[in-house]
Chains A and B, each alone.
Chain A
Amino acid sequence: MNTYKKNRVVITGMGIVAPNAIGVSAFAKALQEQTSGIRFDPQLADLNFGCQVSGTPQITEEILSENFTKLQLRGLKATGLVYGVIAGKEAFKDAGLEIAGPQESMSDMGIIFGTGQSGGHKFREAILLIDEKKVRRLGSTSVIQTMTSGISAWLAGELGCGNMVTSNSSACCTGTEAFLMGYERIATGKATQMLVGSTSDSGPYIWGGFDAMRILPTKYNEAPEKASRPLSSDAAGFVPGSGAGAFILESLDSALKRGTKIYGEVIGGALNSGGHRADGSMTAPNGQAVQDCIKLALKDALVKPQEIDAINGHLTATSKDAFEIKNWSVALNRKGENFPLINTFKSYVGHCLAAAGSIELVGTVLQLKNNIVYGNSNIKSLHPDISVRVDASTIPLKSVKRDLKIIAKASFGFGDVNACVILKKYTV
């Protein structure tokens, strides 16, 4: 049993840059009202993408100038870095923490901030200059904007974090994985606070490969808000999205000592992989491994399946949604009306890839704190393989108030990787 754990870990700050809202309070409102952030994307249309809609955060000049100096903004083209810095700084401020002084870093505070591929647009700019034999024209901003750890390095410098500072990468699991890695670091006493999260770039250079694989919807270019249809019988592929989510995880002792607000408690989780065995492959999940991951998370959190009040699924709007529901149902041994409430935010934010886990975790924590389960949009009728297993009443179409004590959040990623987190309402 989990005797290695020394410290209880709570969430004391959050930050978000999502396709449908920027900032935690705006995001809570957007989720409650199921506001869509999916829009027609003229750049994808110009480049002849099959899918010409995307979930791209609406960053204004005002938001940029609030978060970056004029110098920092010069040649800043890595959207993932922009999103991550904004979300990371919001979480830090939200937790009521103070930036380290000029001489000494905060040795008990670290960062794990993941991404998939950073600064696609900036990297393209660099490649073109290099091929023109003008490598010296790259200037000083190319490295920070294209390296995977650029985001964690940037935030460490702005805030003065002196514990472990790194960036993880595990496709769609990245955010959920970063969250769990930070949690474990505090639970085992190696850090007091961890800024964790993930970010994902916008644009054709990030999304092109998925369009080429024909797994994005192509028939909704004139009706963007209807394009992302998770759980529906007519789901036609995932809508590419981007953004960032961030958290301050903190030992309960430290949070109580600081007298800061507590959003909820992290009580356990699990990470695993299907190893591309059985029905698993580079692109498909190994069902047994998914079930194992969910069961391991429950075991780690010392929670019984029946105690799960709600699930925030991965549920991307592909043919795999029904398989995911089956895996939850088998792992929890719950079905029909006894299945927990389940939802996904992807119908209004799209699939934010490396940022999906962290963006959706922010929403999941808001559910726990506000006693609400946000609705699932765009379900014309439940996929028949889903409705045979769970009752329609467990898949709310509109946001519903519900007393929530324990929520499970999972992400399942490209490469057959899985991550599952168990959150609990904070009580003394």
Chain B
Amino acid sequence: MQEKEMEQQLFKIVKVYLPQDVDSTAIQLDSHLMQDLGINSAHLVDIALDVEDEFDIILNEKDMEEMQTVKDAIQIIKAKTA
């Protein structure tokens, strides 16, 4: 899968969980999911499940802890789908 394509798919997943006062243009590669985008910590669990479904992978405890920014997520997905 092309990295650009992966990025777009991930942006689409993250967009759903943005607080109402955060615009989707705020999502950048180095955006921190909680600190920059204001995503509720409870929803990180849901993002992980959506990522699993979208990319057909399983995320373990360590993956979830490391998934802090959009870029982190891409690294993890890349490693898992390689």
In whole angstroms, what is the CA distance A69 to B16 when docked? Answer: 10
B46 at the interface (CB under 8 A from A): yes
Q: Are B20 and A69 in contact (CB under 8 A)?
A: yes
Nearest A-chain residue to B42, judged by Cβ = A140
| Interfacial residues of chain A within 130-148, with CB under 8 A of chain B in the complex | 136-137, 139-141
The A interface is mostly helix, strand or loop, or mixed, namely: loop
CA distance A139 to B16 in the complex (A): 15
What count of chain A residues pass the 8 Å CB interface test? 9
Number of A-B contacts (CB under 8 A): 17
Q: Are B20 and A139 in contact (CB under 8 A)?
A: no
Q: Does the CB pair B45–A71 fall under 8 Å?
A: no
Q: For residue A102, which residue of chain B has the nearest CB?
A: B21
List B contacts of A137 (CB < 8 A). 49
Nearest Cβ on chain B to A268's Cβ, whole angstroms: 42
Q: Which residues of B are found within 8 Å of A140, using beta-carbon distances?
A: 42-43, 45-46
Nearest CB of B to A361, in Å: 33
Q: How far is the CA of A79 from the CA of B16 in the complex (A)?
A: 22
B5-50 residues with Cβ-Cβ distance < 8 A to A are 16-17, 20, 42-43, 45-46, 49
A74: interface (CB < 8 Å)? yes
- The answer for the CA separation of A151 and B43 in the assembled complex, in Å, is 19
Contacts of B49 in A (CB 8 A): 136-137, 139
Residues of A within 8 A of B (CB): 69-71, 74, 136-137, 139-141
Chain B interface residues (CB < 8 Å from chain A): 16-17, 20, 42-43, 45-46, 49
Ordered by A's residue number, 15 sampled pairs between the chains whose C-beta atoms are within 8 Å are: A70-B16, A71-B16, A71-B17, A71-B43, A74-B16, A74-B46, A136-B49, A137-B49, A139-B45, A139-B46, A139-B49, A140-B42, A140-B45, A140-B46, A141-B46
